[in-house]
Chains A and B, each alone.
Chain A
Amino acid sequence: MQHLIPIGLNHYLTISAFLLAFGLFAVMTRKNAIVVLMGVELILNAANINFLAFSKYNGGIGGVMFSLFVIVIAAAEAAIALAIVINIFKIFKSVDISSVDTMKE
């Protein structure tokens, strides 16, 4: 088991980068509004991972604090978002985000 490389900062950063990419991908491509919101959550969590990893590897408690607040914010955001999406569903009878484009140019 010794010849396994120890997990280091870069691994965390890579994972967070992937999460970010997935999140953006979801936001841009998914039709369903809920999935889009999930993408947003992914973005935020990518940031969280960064914060935690950094605070682990170069000390300081700030990163942890930050990530806690980000989680809270994400929760609040989700709540508002869902309310709005429901409202959208009431009016447009669908949650297809790409069909919501009455205002343009």
Chain B
Amino acid sequence: MHSLIQLSIVVLLLPLLSFVILIFFNRRLPRRGDFVGVGILGTAFAISAYIFWTVIVQTYDPAFRVAWDFTWIDLGKVPGIGHLQIKMGIVIDNLTAIMLAMVTLISLLVHLYSTGYMAGDKNYGRYFAFLGIFTFSMLGIVLSDNLFSIYIFWELVGLSSYLLIGFFFEKDSAADAQKKAFLANRVGDIGMWLGILILYSQFHTFSFEQIYANLAAGKFAMSNAWLTAAGLLLFMGCVGKSAQFPLHIWLPDAMEGPTPVSALIHAATMVAAGVYFVARIFVLLTPDALHVIAFIGAFTAFMAATIAITQNDIKRVLAYSTVSQLGYMVLGLGVGAYSAALFHLVTHAFFKACLFLGSGAIIHAMHHEQDMRWMGGLRRHMPWTFATFTLATLALAGLPLTSGFMSKDAILAGAIGFANVEGGGIYYLIPVLGFFSAMLTAFYMGRQIWLVFFGESRTHLKPADNHHHGLDAHSAHDDHHDDHEVHEVSWNMRAPLVILAVLSVFIVYSPNPLDGAEGWFMKMIKTPATVVGPANHNCTALHAETPSPLMAEAFPAVETHGATDAHAVTGGEHAAATGEHAFADPRQAEIAHAAHAAHFPAIYISSIMVVFGISLAGIVFVFRIIDPDKTAEAIRPLYLFSLNKWYWDEIYQSTFIKGSVLLSKILSWFDTNVIDGIVNGVAVLVRNLAFANNSFDKYVVDGLVNFTAFSVNTTGAVLRKLQTGKVQTYVALLLVVLFGYFVFYFTRLIY
């Protein structure tokens, strides 16, 4: 077993250890054992930093990969399949190493930050326990080498997010939010699960390696549509977890959780897991599937951005911006800008975590005031927060010299290239939406900055009625600052802000502030060779297998793609020139090439957009050349549409939720009244019958049993009338019967 594997196992298990310790003993430990959590996470981060160092810095190899697995379940010799084993395992490659470091780092910082933010909460210890189990499951997703264990950790992440969102479970809104989050994720997970089932039913294995090998070897027996379906169904998992349309509704509500949690789970790591998962399964996504993914991503990015404009809750703005940014990443993957998307994942993780922690600091300082309308002028009171928050904002908006600029830019370039290659007018919608959202992003982030930090404090303007907001949640730990003086937060909350802000600067990732492609990241993370699509010759060549019928079916004639091939060659050359690796798949090569070509246009457009957005925000909210309220009045329908989040919640509420509750009521009525009394009417009849006055028919209220019971009962009631009690009647009956028999047999005799 490779030493890195051993280390990664340690990293994986440490947070679990912290969970176990804290969940059972937090009340016995001093300070409710928060130091346990922080310490353990510190260790974990140290180890994963070492792993990062070894993998990325020392062995500077794009193709680095070590794996290890063990038999988890052994089904023995299964008839028709042979010896069947379900394996669990760990794989470490560049992506894993980066994710490990990122997750543990942010988790560590959030732990540290929480020691300040959550101080005095009555479930303080339990909070850190939950953080522990979350980190554990997140790392599990990162390290898994097969679909099954990813699904397991996927659900566990869902669980920990459920627990943390509902941490203030006494708030009904929190309880609603946690349920909503879990269910929305479950819906996504169904799809993911079905996708897994499709693949398993073909290959009887869950491991990525074997599935890809089989796919490349063309062992996929079902039609190509099933393969696309499998891809899209797996993507549904991402839709749920990464809050893509149409399952995005849960993420904003998830802000009911403590703010550090929002930073860790609902901004940096968990929601990114969806993107990470799509990256893992990237190679089996058919072009059709990728198109769908690209469009969903673009639409999500745009929709969320439009909503974010009008939100007043500081955290909700950030939440929608998160959704929007996730949309970017998905878009990036969809258009095939693989490394760019993952790059954005990492950068976004840092600056968005910074933003959330910053907003947490603000909320903390404002005594749990979350409404930006009643803030303002905070830059004087909290300089550190102001500085870091602004830097992160610039990164998010994507101004040059920030990390966000490089990554987002790479994605947009990819989008343009994609549109060029696909050559369809409709495909240009994707980059257009992308750029427009970039502008919107700049606008609403600018708005936030202006509203929160500039101008004069507007606390006094706040109407008294909705002042209880959030107080009930933190009633316990409000006591230590009863003076309503806004002041900077303590060091343990400041340090994380600084670290994260530093990590949002371009130099960390790339020497050239304008081109992330020259950075170590995009050098280390290369678009993997697809195992479906037109790559078949190469793959089959690689695996020395016969060409698969499937691929032929998918892409009937490669000759028709002559141009494509030509492009591919040139693309390949160019790639060689720019130090990129040769693509196995002409289509991917083509897109990459076009993307590279579109690099500078993208830069120009996006920079212009961003600057325009920010200045517009300034114009509106600072110099008030345009009065926002008047504008809102002028375009009231649009304004309301955005303010009410496109009414998605209402739509779902009135269709799915109401629908299923109604259906359940109907079915249960059906159960009690129809199934359980198929002949209820008959039963009533029986009760009303004159001779039914005995204890037996009390039992005559039940389904088919009823029916027999009823018939039996009435026949009995009729028959017993024969027993008149007069012996002469008996004799008469006897003779009648005899005569009847006689006639019967007599007729049988003569006929």
Check whether chain A touches chain B (CB < 8 angstroms): yes
Q: Is A24 an interface residue (CB 8 A)?
A: yes
Q: Is B76 an interface residue (CB 8 A)?
A: no
- Please encode chain A, from 83 to 105, with 1 for each CB lying within 8 Å of some chain B CB and 0 for all others: 00000000000000110111111
Assembly CA distance A27 to B732 (angstroms): 9
Q: Is A68 an interface residue (CB 8 A)?
A: no
Count contacts between A and B, CB distance < 8 Å: 29
Q: Is A28 an interface residue (CB 8 A)?
A: yes
Q: Cβ of A101 and Cβ of B735 under 8 Å apart?
A: no
Write out the residue numbers on chain B whose beta carbons fall within 8 Å of the beta carbon of A102: 725
Q: Cβ of B720 and Cβ of A105 under 8 Å apart?
A: yes
Dominant secondary structure of chain B at its interface with chain A: helix
Q: Cβ of A101 and Cβ of B726 under 8 Å apart?
A: yes
Of the A-B pairs whose beta carbons lie under 8 Å apart in the complex, a sample of 22, sorted by A's number, is A24-B731, A24-B735, A27-B728, A27-B731, A28-B728, A28-B731, A28-B735, A29-B728, A36-B728, A97-B727, A98-B726, A98-B728, A100-B726, A100-B727, A101-B724, A101-B725, A103-B725, A104-B724, A104-B725, A105-B720, A105-B723, A105-B725
Assembly CA distance A83 to B580 (angstroms): 125
Q: Which of B724, B725, B732, B735 has the most CB of A within 10 A?
A: B725
Additional pairs, 16, CB under 8 Å, beyond known A28-B728, A29-B728, A102-B725: A24-B731, A27-B728, A27-B731, A28-B731, A28-B735, A36-B728, A97-B726, A98-B726, A98-B728, A100-B726, A100-B727, A104-B723, A104-B724, A104-B725, A105-B721, A105-B723
- Please encode chain B, from 707 to 749, with 1 for each CB lying within 8 Å of some chain A CB and 0 for all others: 0000000000000110111111001100100000000000000
Write out the residue numbers on chain A whose beta carbons fall within 8 Å of the beta carbon of B731: 24, 27-28
Write out the residue numbers on chain A whose beta carbons fall within 8 Å of the beta carbon of B732: 28
User: Measured between C-beta atoms, what is the minimum distance from B354 to chain A in Å?
Assistant: 91
User: Measured between C-beta atoms, what is the minimum distance from A101 to chain B in Å?
Assistant: 3
Find the B residue at minimum CB distance from A98. B726
Going nearest first, the 5 A-B pairs with the smallest beta carbon separation are A104-B725, A101-B725, A105-B720, A105-B723, A101-B726
Assembly CA distance A103 to B723 (angstroms): 9
A 13-57 contacts with B by CB, 8 A: 24, 27-29, 36
Find the A residue at minimum CB distance from B719. A105
Write out the residue numbers on chain B whose beta carbons fall within 8 Å of the beta carbon of A36: 728
Find the B residue at minimum CB distance from A31. B728
Find the A residue at minimum CB distance from B727. A97
Assembly CA distance A62 to B677 (angstroms): 66
User: Measured between C-beta atoms, what is the minimum distance from B690 to chain A in Å?
Assistant: 14
Write out the residue numbers on chain A whose beta carbons fall within 8 Å of the beta carbon of B728: 27-29, 36, 97-98
Q: Which of B723, B726, B728, B735 has the most CB of A within 10 A?
A: B728
Write out the residue numbers on chain A whose beta carbons fall within 8 Å of the beta carbon of B735: 24, 28
B 240-255 contacts with A by CB, 8 A: none
Q: Which of A27, A103, A104 has the most CB of B within 10 A?
A: A104
User: Measured between C-beta atoms, what is the minimum distance from B723 to chain A in Å?
Assistant: 5
Write out the residue numbers on chain B whose beta carbons fall within 8 Å of the beta carbon of A29: 728
Assembly CA distance A97 to B727 (angstroms): 8
What range describes how many residues of A lie at the interface?
10 to 19
Assembly CA distance A97 to B728 (angstroms): 8
Assembly CA distance A36 to B731 (angstroms): 11
User: Measured between C-beta atoms, what is the minimum distance from A61 to chain B in Å?
Assistant: 31
Find the B residue at minimum CB distance from A29. B728
Assembly CA distance A29 to B726 (angstroms): 11
User: Measured between C-beta atoms, what is the minimum distance from B730 to chain A in Å?
Assistant: 10
Find the A residue at minimum CB distance from B732. A28
Assembly CA distance A100 to B727 (angstroms): 8
Assembly CA distance A97 to B720 (angstroms): 21
User: Measured between C-beta atoms, what is the minimum distance from A87 to chain B in Å?
Assistant: 15
Write out the residue numbers on chain B whose beta carbons fall within 8 Å of the beta carbon of A98: 726, 728
Write out the residue numbers on chain B whose beta carbons fall within 8 Å of the beta carbon of A24: 731, 735
B 492-514 contacts with A by CB, 8 A: none
User: Measured between C-beta atoms, what is the minimum distance from A98 to chain B in Å?
Assistant: 5
Assembly CA distance A36 to B723 (angstroms): 20
Q: Which of A28, A29, A100 has the most CB of B within 10 A?
A: A28
Assembly CA distance A90 to B720 (angstroms): 30
Write out the residue numbers on chain A whose beta carbons fall within 8 Å of the beta carbon of B726: 97-98, 100-101
Assembly CA distance A100 to B729 (angstroms): 12
Q: Which of A97, A98, A105 has the most CB of B within 10 A?
A: A105
User: Measured between C-beta atoms, what is the minimum distance from B720 to chain A in Å?
Assistant: 5
User: Measured between C-beta atoms, what is the minimum distance from A38 to chain B in Å?
Assistant: 14
Write out the residue numbers on chain B whose beta carbons fall within 8 Å of the beta carbon of A28: 728, 731-732, 735
Write out the residue numbers on chain A whose beta carbons fall within 8 Å of the beta carbon of B723: 104-105
Assembly CA distance A28 to B739 (angstroms): 15
Assembly CA distance A24 to B738 (angstroms): 13
Assembly CA distance A56 to B724 (angstroms): 44
Write out the residue numbers on chain A whose beta carbons fall within 8 Å of the beta carbon of B721: 105
Write out the residue numbers on chain A whose beta carbons fall within 8 Å of the beta carbon of B724: 101, 104
User: Measured between C-beta atoms, what is the minimum distance from B28 to chain A in Å?
Assistant: 77
User: Measured between C-beta atoms, what is the minimum distance from B738 to chain A in Å?
Assistant: 10
Assembly CA distance A101 to B726 (angstroms): 5
User: Measured between C-beta atoms, what is the minimum distance from B178 to chain A in Å?
Assistant: 66
Assembly CA distance A98 to B727 (angstroms): 7
User: Measured between C-beta atoms, what is the minimum distance from B742 to chain A in Å?
Assistant: 14
Assembly CA distance A93 to B727 (angstroms): 18
Write out the residue numbers on chain B whose beta carbons fall within 8 Å of the beta carbon of A27: 728, 731
B 102-142 contacts with A by CB, 8 A: none
Write out the residue numbers on chain B whose beta carbons fall within 8 Å of the beta carbon of A105: 720-721, 723, 725
Find the A residue at minimum CB distance from B735. A24
B 451-477 contacts with A by CB, 8 A: none
Write out the residue numbers on chain B whose beta carbons fall within 8 Å of the beta carbon of A103: 725
Write out the residue numbers on chain A whose beta carbons fall within 8 Å of the beta carbon of B727: 97, 100
User: Measured between C-beta atoms, what is the minimum distance from B694 to chain A in Å?
Assistant: 12
User: Measured between C-beta atoms, what is the minimum distance from B724 to chain A in Å?
Assistant: 6
Assembly CA distance A104 to B721 (angstroms): 8
Find the B residue at minimum CB distance from A24. B735
User: Measured between C-beta atoms, what is the minimum distance from B299 to chain A in Å?
Assistant: 79
Assembly CA distance A19 to B735 (angstroms): 16
Assembly CA distance A28 to B725 (angstroms): 14
B 391-417 contacts with A by CB, 8 A: none
Assembly CA distance A28 to B728 (angstroms): 5
Find the A residue at minimum CB distance from B723. A105
Find the B residue at minimum CB distance from A39. B731
Find the B residue at minimum CB distance from A99. B726
Assembly CA distance A46 to B195 (angstroms): 92
Write out the residue numbers on chain B whose beta carbons fall within 8 Å of the beta carbon of A97: 726-728
Find the A residue at minimum CB distance from B722. A105
Assembly CA distance A28 to B736 (angstroms): 12
Assembly CA distance A105 to B721 (angstroms): 6
User: Measured between C-beta atoms, what is the minimum distance from A79 to chain B in Å?
Assistant: 20
User: Measured between C-beta atoms, what is the minimum distance from A32 to chain B in Å?
Assistant: 12
User: Measured between C-beta atoms, what is the minimum distance from B327 to chain A in Å?
Assistant: 82
User: Measured between C-beta atoms, what is the minimum distance from B716 to chain A in Å?
Assistant: 10
